[in-house]
């Protein structure tokens, strides 16, 4: 009988793409494996997962706002409905194991699976464990993590240090330099800066870039700028105002292997997926952590690299005044770029998807479930 697995979570690309990488690895082990994704209605996984070729079911779950809002009053009702639907999905699909990658939907699904005796695995992507995973860890059989020291949050005997899975094409980015230059229309003789604020964009990064576009043009720097959908029209207007072919703005970049391939330096938020990709491709990076991330986990992710001289950090508060200058300085400092590249590669976990898939399969073996 082919194995059947549910993978649950989402909300951001940082949850979705590792989930897809795990699914792809499980399918590569046995093409007969059946995989069902469970996400949150209205979230980006409902579009990104089918694009990757997998079926997904949505739960009506929502998050709790930190401030008092009327939407919080609906949370208990939506949680109850989500638990009932999760139980129905599990009854109908009959998974051999359930995998949670973080995000709203992973809570109801993994809790329902655990209560039915189905073995569960949690993938914690950040250096500071999220609330949902800390709660679910009580029932989880395995907890795959990306950073050492996670026994501060989870039982040590359940932890496996695997790293975060990334899209498989990212691992071959260095082979895509010429293809990337052609794809983005770049000149090989000019330095290139890649700016990525996550799948939804980052207002601080966008406004910092918008104010500094002329400085990049004057310095002869090519910029590949992922803005997110909400800022793209404003970005296009800013690019038109400087009237230079050196600046290219995109709402979303699907060909990230090509983008990393041509980048001499990267400006990025410090989400778990972005950090893992930067480690794998070994690009010198300036990290600008999102200060409102839960438990300030993006700063903790960034500091794990900064403390080892593997990345630079600029706070969100200072980005509008410091980021453009810091990026230009880095592009003009080849020895520093080489040192950052060398150190960040030491954090890479290229076999993360393979190792997590193996842990999932171990849960379905005799006596291990």
Query: How does residue 69 score in pLDDT terms, banded at 50, 70 and 90?
Result: low
pLDDT by residue (tens digit) across 262-289? 999 999 999 988 999 999 999 999 999 9
Q: Is 162 annotated as a binding residue?
A: no
Query: How does residue 62 score in pLDDT terms, banded at 50, 70 and 90?
Result: confident
Alpha helices in the chain, H assignment, sequence order: 13-29, 45-51, 75-93, 106-115, 131-136, 177-184, 203-218, 232-242, 256-262, 272-281, 297-306, 319-331, 334-345, 352-363
Average of pLDDT values for 109-136? 92
Using the structure block, give the residue that is written with the tokens 């949680």.
79
pLDDT by residue (tens digit) across 314-333? 999 999 999 999 999 999 99
How do the domains of the chain map onto residue ranges? 4-164+350-363, 168-345
Query: How does residue 168 score in pLDDT terms, banded at 50, 70 and 90?
Result: confident
Q: What is the pLDDT of residue 295?
A: 76
Q: Token pair for residue 261?
A: 């391939």
Q: Is 318 annotated as a binding residue?
A: no
Query: How does residue 102 score in pLDDT terms, banded at 50, 70 and 90?
Result: confident
Q: Is 275 annotated as a binding residue?
A: yes
pLDDT surpassing 80 at residue 146: yes
Q: Is 273 annotated as a binding residue?
A: yes
Query: How does residue 103 score in pLDDT terms, banded at 50, 70 and 90?
Result: confident
Q: Is 137 annotated as a binding residue?
A: no
pLDDT surpassing 90 at residue 44: no
Q: What is the pLDDT of residue 209?
A: 95
Q: Is 126 annotated as a binding residue?
A: yes
pLDDT surpassing 90 at residue 153: yes
Q: Is 272 annotated as a binding residue?
A: yes
| Angstrom distance (rounded) from CA 356 to CA 332 | 39
43 or 120, which is more confident: 120
Alpha helices in 151-202, H assignment, sequence order: 177-184
| Angstrom distance (rounded) from CA 70 to CA 305 | 39
**pTM over cut 0.75:** yes
Query: How does residue 175 score in pLDDT terms, banded at 50, 70 and 90?
Result: very high
pLDDT by residue (tens digit) across 284-312? 999 999 998 777 889 999 999 999 999 99
Q: Please give the CATH number for the structural domain made up of 168-345.
A: 3.40.50.2000
Q: What is the pLDDT of residue 367?
A: 43
CATH architecture of 4-164+350-363: 3-Layer(aba) Sandwich (3.40)
Q: Do domains 4-164+350-363 and 168-345 have the same CATH topology?
A: yes
Residue 313 has phi, psi (to 5 degrees) of -130, 135
Q: Is 180 annotated as a binding residue?
A: no
Q: What is the pLDDT of residue 130?
A: 81
| Angstrom distance (rounded) from CA 164 to CA 277 | 9
Q: What is the pLDDT of residue 368?
A: 45
Radius of gyration of the chain (CA): 21
Q: In this predicted structure, which of 9-13, 77-81, 164-168 has the lowest mean pLDDT?
A: 9-13
Average of pLDDT values for 228-257? 95
């Amino acid at each position: 009988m082919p194995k059947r697995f549910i993978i649950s979570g989402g909300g951001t690309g940082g949850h979705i793409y590792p989930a897809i990488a795990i699914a792809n690895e499980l399918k590569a082990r046995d093409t007969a494996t059946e995989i069902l994704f469970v996400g949150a209605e209205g979230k980006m996984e409902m579009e990104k997962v089918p694009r990757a070729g997998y079926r997904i079911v949505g739960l009506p779950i929502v998050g709790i706002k930190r401030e008092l809002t009327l939407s919080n009053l609906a949370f208990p009702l939506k949680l109850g409905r989500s638990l009932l639907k999760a139980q129905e999905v599990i009854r109908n699909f009959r998974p051999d194991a359930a995998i949670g990658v973080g995000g709203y939907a992973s809570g109801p699904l993994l809790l329902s699976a655990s209560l039915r005796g189905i073995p569960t695995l949690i993938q914690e992507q950040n250096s500071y464990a999220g609330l949902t995973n800390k709660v679910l860890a009580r029932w989880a059989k395995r907890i795959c993590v990306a950073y050492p020291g996670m026994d501060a949050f989870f039982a040590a005997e359940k932890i496996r240090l695997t790293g975060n899975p990334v899209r498989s094409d990212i691992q071959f980015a260095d082979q895509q330099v010429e293809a990337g230059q052609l794809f983005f229309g770049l000149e090989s003789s000019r330095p290139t800066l890649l700016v990525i604020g996550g799948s939804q964009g980052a207002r601080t990064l966008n406004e910092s870039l918008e104010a500094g576009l002329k400085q990049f043009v004057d310095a002869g720097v090519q910029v590949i700028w992922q803005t997110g959908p909400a800022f793209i029209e404003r970005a296009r207007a800013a690019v038109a105002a400087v009237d230079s072919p050196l600046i290219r703005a995109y709402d979303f970049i699907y060909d990230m292997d090509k983008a990393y391939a041509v980048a001499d330096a990267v400006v990025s938020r410090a989400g778990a997926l972005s950090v893992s990709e930067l480690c794998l491709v070994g690009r010198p990076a300036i990290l600008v952590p999102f200060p409102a991330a839960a438990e300030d986990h993006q700063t903790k992710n960034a500091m794990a690299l900064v403390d080892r001289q593997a990345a630079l950090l600029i706070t969100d508060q200072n980005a509008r005044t410091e980021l453009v200058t810091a990026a230009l300085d880095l592009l003009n400092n080849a020895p520093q770029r080489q040192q950052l590249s060398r150190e960040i590669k030491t954090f890479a976990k290229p076999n993360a998807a393979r190792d997590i898939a193996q842990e999932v399969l171990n849960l379905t073996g005799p006596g291990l479930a």
